[in-house]
Amino acid sequence: MKRYSKNFLILFSGQTISNLGNQIYLIALPWLVYELTHSSFDMGTISAIMALPDLLFALIIGTIIDRYNRKRILWIASFIQLVIVLIIPLLFFTDMLEIYHIYITGFLYSTATLIFITCYRSCIPDLTDEDSLVEVNSLIQLSLTIIKMIGPLLAGLLIANFGIVESFMVDAFTYFLLIICIFNTKLPNEKVRKKKNFFFDDLRNGITYTLGSQILRYLIWLVLIVNIGMSIALSLMVFHLRADGNLSAHQVGYVYSISGIFSLVFTLLAPKIARKMGSMSAISLACMISGLGLLFIPFTQNILLKGITLGLITGGGTLGAIYINSMLQKQVPSEYLGRVFATTQMISRVSVPLALVVGGWGSETRIGVSGMFVISSLIVILSSLGFYLKMNMMNDSKRKGEIQV
Residues 278, 249: one domain?
A: yes
Domain that holds residue 72: 1-130+152-185
Q: Looking at the whole model, is its pTM more than 0.95?
A: no
> Is the domain of 285 the same as that of 159?
no
- Assess whether 162 and 288 both reside in one domain: no
Would you say residue 303 lies in a domain?
Answer: yes
- Asked if residue 141 belongs to a domain, the reply is no
Residues 290 and 179 in one domain: no
CA separation for the pair 266, 273 (Å, rounded): 9
pLDDT in tens, the chain (405 residues): 456 789 999 999 999 999 998 888 888 887 888 788 877 667 667 777 887 888 889 889 999 999 889 999 999 999 999 999 999 889 988 888 888 898 999 899 999 999 999 999 999 998 988 888 999 999 999 998 888 878 877 888 888 888 888 889 999 999 999 999 999 999 876 555 556 678 888 888 888 898 888 889 999 899 989 988 998 888 788 778 877 778 876 787 788 888 888 888 999 999 999 888 888 899 999 999 999 999 999 999 888 999 999 999 999 999 999 999 999 999 899 889 999 998 888 877 777 777 777 777 887 888 888 899 999 999 999 999 999 998 888 877 766 655 443
In a domain, 369, yes or no: yes
Q: Read off the CATH number of the domain in which 55 is found.
A: 1.20.1250.20
Residues 261 and 350 in one domain: yes
Are 344 and 290 contained in the same domain? yes
Spatial CA neighbour of 291 closest among 199, 361, 352, 226: 226
Q: Same structural domain for residues 68 and 18? A: yes
Residue 145 covered by a domain: no
DSSP per position, 336-394: HHHHHHHHHHHHHHHHHHHHHHHHHHHHTSTTHHHHHHHHHHHHHHHHHHHHHHHHHHH
* Alpha-carbon span 238 to 392, nearest angstrom: 37
Residues 100, 219: one domain? no
The answer to whether residue 178 sits within a structural domain is yes
